Structure 1
């Protein structure tokens, strides 16, 4: 069993990365308030600004090269956190969060205050927890980390559409609007998903167990299970939510060394609409076309290799892909229990 250390650590100097475009431009204001509060608490924040994933990664590599920082503080949303994870995963460097994005699902997972002053106090208190991260790899040897969820079905198309809306629609409403549009005119693909170390999610109801067995057969003793059919939603969850609190993987556990997998079958859009609110609220047990698995690793292939794949709201790699949980790879500064 991997070790998941938690506890208070000394935080005196931090690198503060801000995306001025996050949260429809509110990130700079949040960063200023957080910086002032950190200084009042005796924490020196050295500020860095960037606005693209590539720039974020470059800036963070430069910032962390001198080894003067005890933590990286992200003032932005899940996409900016994702950029930082590409540098800090498996290094032991903790990430602090000043929520200033559209969805802020990482902050929601760890109950980090949305008020920048309170979030700064949380960072100054220095309570650090260790979590799993998701790792996605393609056949060319490229790898990317994700901290929340990874999707490659209707939800990925919705994320892609939400991005194209820019600032014309604010915050989490972009994802709601995009999701509705995708549900009305869904793009469905055939997936082959090979799961390793598989089980149903804990506390599955008898109905969920029966429906899963009817679709995919009983899970073999080896734990290896293959799904091969047209599927509308394929979502792997290290954490519970995306899109600003939509509970796509409501039972996901960041300290179990596995990923939850939510599968939605190819059904008529009216059936989606009937269960849409229950799905996003995490009430999956009574939705007949939803199956919830848990796995350590998965191989995903699709004939349409260019379909969108998004993790933490950011574009990932192209099919075919391997997705896996990496135990104890991430560290976050969170409110003390």
Structure 2
């Protein structure tokens, strides 16, 4: 099989990550990887998009409160729709800080509020901790929408990579009455099947940020029990039905171990009666949306996601 075309920005991006001393994903212990991941994302993002207001929140939870940050993209004083955003990083890395640029861009371009959620990370807090925090954040927004200046009837969920996985699960929980219902799901190169075998794809470049080895590393930390990986609350692609899920935007990239499962999820949504906009970018890699300072196409793709939202 011939390797798919690779966007010319990607080799320079990979060299910039190496020059910055960022370890390969999945190659070092989580505590070491976290600092490098956040620093590289902040260093390689474009200038931050303007928003009208930013507020910090502590959502009550047993033990430590759940930290969240609300970005308002429209005019203050107006009730706004809200996207509850779950960051990527393999359920092991990432934070509100690592995805600030992405969240601000969506808030600015969609003219909505975006609530970024600092959910608990594995391996210290394995599945279902991140999912439980996601449900808690969405429930808190729905219950407190009026005091936050938000419209409880116009809530959406979204996320990139591991966050896309959590958002897809959250959308199904809402459909089933196990979480507040949402009207849209924004899935950016989501992980949807953690029980599949991650084999090397000869069509992908070997020099990419997320490899099959890294995916196995993340999944082993997030869901240590192999049997639990087949449950739909870890692998939404394995849900018995997707009928009744909210409309979706699904982004996939050709040089990404997750592209097959993302495209399969979009196809299942369509087949089971869910409106879906599926965007496949064959020459791009996983993780580009918060590396827009190095990848010129990232801003355009985020604009499309914001337009869909």
TM, length-normalised to structure 1: 0.27
Q: What is the TM-score normalised by the length of structure 2?
A: 0.29
Q: Which has the larger helix fraction?
A: 2
